[in-house]
């Protein structure tokens, strides 16, 4: 094995750590912000007669990050959920680079198709 090459086991370990880290950070963020949200608003009576949809600032990634940076609990929860969605996408992106490094063109192509499908499914409503 040439210096700098990765074994399949090393790639799998990196992917495993990537997935575990993404899920743990997301879970901690969502749970922490959710607890603080419930502490503040958990005892408020629900208004079942009036339906209020999601606030406009949480309907975009930029708005969710702006709310999170402002310390708003719902923004932090949304960013945690976005991180959870981004975790498998990061795995696929890493896989493209790992297959490129191994010069495995077939798997690079297949993985790029999977990545395109993921991005299309996320952004199809914007087309």
Q: What one-character DSSP code corresponds to residue 46?
A: P
- Answer yes or no: are the C-beta atoms of 91 and 81 closer than 8 Å: no
- At residue 85, the pLDDT reads 93
Q: Is the pLDDT of residue 35 over 70?
A: yes
Instruction: Indicate the domain borders of the chain.
Output: 11-41+54-122
CA torsion angle 73 64 117 112 (round to 10) = -100
- At residue 51, the pLDDT reads 82
pTM of the shown model: 0.82
The pLDDT tens digits for 37-82 are 999 988 888 888 888 888 888 888 899 999 999 999 999 999 999 9
CA atoms of 37 and 9, how far apart (whole Å): 41
pLDDT (mean) for 4-21 = 90
């Amino acid at each position: 094995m040439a210096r700098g090459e990765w074994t399949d086991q090393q790639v799998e370990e990196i992917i495993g750590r990537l997935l575990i880290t993404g899920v743990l950070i997301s879970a901690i963020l969502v749970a922490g912000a959710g607890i603080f949200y419930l502490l503040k608003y958990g005892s408020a009576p629900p208004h079942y007669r009036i339906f209020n949809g999601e606030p406009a600032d949480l309907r975009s990634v930029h708005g969710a990050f702006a709310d999170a940076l402002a310390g708003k609990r719902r923004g932090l929860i949304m960013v945690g959920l976005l991180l959870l969605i981004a975790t498998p996408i990061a795995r696929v992106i890493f896989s493209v680079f790992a297959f490129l490094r191994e010069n495995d063109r077939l798997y690079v192509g297949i993985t790029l198709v999977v990545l395109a499908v993921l991005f299309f499914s996320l952004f199809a409503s914007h087309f």
